[in-house]
Amino acid sequence: MSDASSEKKQNGVKKVQFSERVQQAIHDLCTTDLCKPNVKVNDHINKLFPTEQSLSQLDGIMGSLEQEVDELDVELADLVEEFGEAGVIGNSALDAARASMRGLEQRLTKVRSRTQSSETSVHTMTRDINQLDVAKKNLTSSITTLHHLHILLVGVNNLSAWTVSKRYSDIASELPAVLNVLQLFDAYIHVDQVKSLTERVEKLKVDLSNQLAVDLKNCFQNGNINQLAADMCKVTAVLGGKLEEEFQKWYIDQQFGEYYVLYSDNEEVAWIDQIDQRYRWYVTKLAEFERNGMVKVFPANWEMGRRMSMEFCTSTRVALDRLMTKRRTELDWKLLAHAINHTIMFETLLNKRFPAKGDWDFEKIIWRVFNKYMDVFVDAQSSNLNEFLDGCANKIRTGEERPIKDTSTHAFPLPSSADLFFLLKKIITESSKLCAEPDALLRQLVKVFRQCLRGYAHGCLTAFLPQVSVQTGMSTASLLQNLIREETIVRLTPDQQFFTCCLLATADWCAETTVQLQEKLKQKVPELDLSQEMELFYSISNNALTTLVQDVEAACDAALQAMGKINWAGIEGVGDESAYVSAIRSHLRHSVPLIRDYFSDRRKYFAHFCLKLATQLVNKFYGSLFRCKPISISGAEQLLLDAHALKMFLLNMPSVESSVVTKPPTIYTTTVTKTMTKAEMVLKVVMSDLSKPEDFVQNYARLVPESDSAELQKILEMRNTRRSEQQQVLAIYRKEIEGIDPPPTTASNMPSALSAVMSIATDGIGDSSMRRLEKLVKKKL
């Protein structure tokens, strides 16, 4: 049995467990169901012999099974024989492999022994070489140290002698080497000789610094600017520290001594009106400094030209700030602009001569001192804008900038609006050029811009917007002399109408341009918001449009008043449209095309105009219907004809007298149709049968769904319905439609005499007087 298998005892019977590989091989050899593991023999026999009759085939099946067993025996014998031969061959191959492995192991042992021997030999050889390398390194270090020590000793001795004899040229070449070599002995400072040399060098530096402090000043004060001066500066640069800083400061102070005296605060030339002379003085000084070869005298790393320029700019900035603070009341924008322009030119020159390098940057170094005085610029621009607005208003007032109808075929913005935004753009441009911090200045200017835009809107547009005025006169009726007034509409002249359109175009253009201005300024001032100013201009446009609508609408009031004066109860038959409809049509045919031409390049405002005008007219027509009382059936039919004719005309009003007929906007058509249809339904209610109040109320609710009991009462009064019938119908309506119990009406308690007077008086008054009269009467009651 193989090593991969194991034995287990279960119920006293040993069970052989084969490996997965053996089990798979057995499974591949199985060709019948009897070979498969876990086969159930009883089930297989039942499958072969399901019935008693099938037992007759027992002999045949037994024969086939015996034949299959014989074949398996033969095949098994062949396999056993073949396996025996393979075992012999395998054992031979295994013995040969083992012999080869033993030979290989012997060879590896010999190679390992030879390697160990070679390693020992190499280690012995390299040990001597390493000792030689260490000795060489120590010797080289010792020689180098001795050489450096020699250089240090010789250098210190030479420097001591040269210092006494003031041989600064030799000192300038030797001192850097000595100081560099001395740094190499920092690790040997504990050595007495090194410590002594270090102390000698430090003492030498102190003596040399003291000597140079005197010699340098004497040399430059006497004007002996030669090679000796250059050598002393080189030595000073090597020593560095306090000596270098003090000499640089001393030299710069010497150069600017004249400047401090000439341009002291009490000198008139120091004021900013002569600031160009300051810059001219320094340019001359700098040119002289470079022309005389002073640049070569000082070490390059000193950057004496930059240092002098920085000192000039710093001192000048401080002086200018001090002067402008003292004399702030003398500042004006022209003077400030003069100083700023010259400062910008001077700084541009400096930046070209000395480009930015590290901390040396002359960009806006003096310019920024003027930032705190930019309120002078802001105040000046505010004053200029106010003068401009006053001039614009005066031009409109005198007629110089008041367009008339004959000047153009269409409305156009006033020229002053373009001048306004051009001026604002100019101010923005100037602020960006003349202020070192233009964004901060723009934030201050935003307030001025807001005031300017509002000032133009109120002072130049709203102030001159024509109005449709109403003149009121007393009626001759003594009984109602305190209640009723006759009103006369004073319409716009053709020029006023055209000027109103121009004001509308101006406000619209200003609103659109304000949006562009806001977008431009937001690049610099992100938090900017000019929405209130834009809304102001749009409101002016709307007011101008309302004025135009009131003007055109006012001409229709007489026709609508005439509509209420017709004896609609006496009309016996339906004819053509009434005269008041023809009058309205004629007026609109004349007025609307003119407005359309004025707004030829602003079609949206013509659409708004038509919508407002139509809304006003249909609402007035609807209100005038209730003054047409009493009314007969024929009168109601005539009014229905008039309402249809007016509706059809209003639907086509935007294209009236136009060669190109366009479909009006949906909102326009919906508005006109809704109100006029309601008027038509009211007239149909007037014509309906009232013999059955319940049916009348249901019919009314169906024809006029958006209504109330007050409106129903007006319709009943148009029919000249008796008071008792009105109360009955209203009670049914309130109960069935409104769902409330009707309160007692005040109209029933109204004195009959007063009702009669009101009936007579209201025939000759307008809509506004009628409304005031009704309110007063209700208040009295």
Which uninterrupted H or E stretch holds 487?
Answer: strand 485-490
CB 361 within 8 A of CB 367: no
Confidence of residue 76 (pLDDT cuts 50, 70, 90): confident
How many C-beta neighbours within 10 Å does residue 99 have? 10
Domain extents in the chain: 31-107, 171-368, 374-554, 556-780
420: three-class secondary structure by DSSP: helix
Environment class of 225 (CB within 10 Å of its CB; exposed 0-12, middle 13-18, buried 19+): middle
Q: What is the pLDDT of residues 112-139, one digit of tens each?
A: 888 887 777 777 777 777 777 777 777 7
For residues 460 and 142, which has the higher predicted lDDT (pLDDT)? 460
Q: Is the pLDDT reported for residue 698 higher than 80?
A: yes
Q: Which tokens hold the place of 622?
A: 């609807």
Judge if 374-554 and 556-780 fold alike in CATH terms: yes
**Low-confidence winner among 101-105, 143-147, 587-591 (lowest mean pLDDT):** 143-147
Q: What is the pLDDT of residues 309-348, one digit of tens each?
A: 999 999 999 999 999 999 999 999 899 999 999 999 999 9
- CATH number of the 556-780 domain: 1.10.357
- Please, what is the average pLDDT of the chain? 81
Q: Which tokens hold the place of 652?
A: 């086509």
Determine phi and psi for 10, rounding to 5 degrees. Answer: -140, 120
606, 612, 615, 618 alpha-carbon torsion, rounded to 10° = -70
Which pLDDT score, from 0 to 100, does residue 425 have? Answer: 94
Q: Which tokens hold the place of 147?
A: 């050489």
Q: What is the pLDDT of residues 291-302, one digit of tens each?
A: 888 888 888 888
Determine phi and psi for 490, rounding to 5 degrees. Answer: -100, 110
- How far apart, in whole angstroms, are the C-alpha atoms of residue 767 and residue 239? 104
Confidence of residue 16 (pLDDT cuts 50, 70, 90): low
Phi-psi region of 402 (alpha: psi -120 to 50; beta: other; left: phi over 0): beta
- How far apart, in whole angstroms, are the C-alpha atoms of residue 138 and residue 134? 6
- In this structure, which CATH number among 1.20.1090.10, 3.10.20.440, 1.10.357.50, 3.40.50.300 belongs to the domain 374-554? 1.10.357.50
Q: What is the pLDDT of residues 356-371, one digit of tens each?
A: 887 888 898 999 999 9
Which pLDDT score, from 0 to 100, does residue 192 have? Answer: 74
Helices (H) and strands (E) in the chain, counts: 26, 4
Rounded mean pLDDT, 714-736:
85
Strands 6-10 and 13-17 turn out to be antiparallel
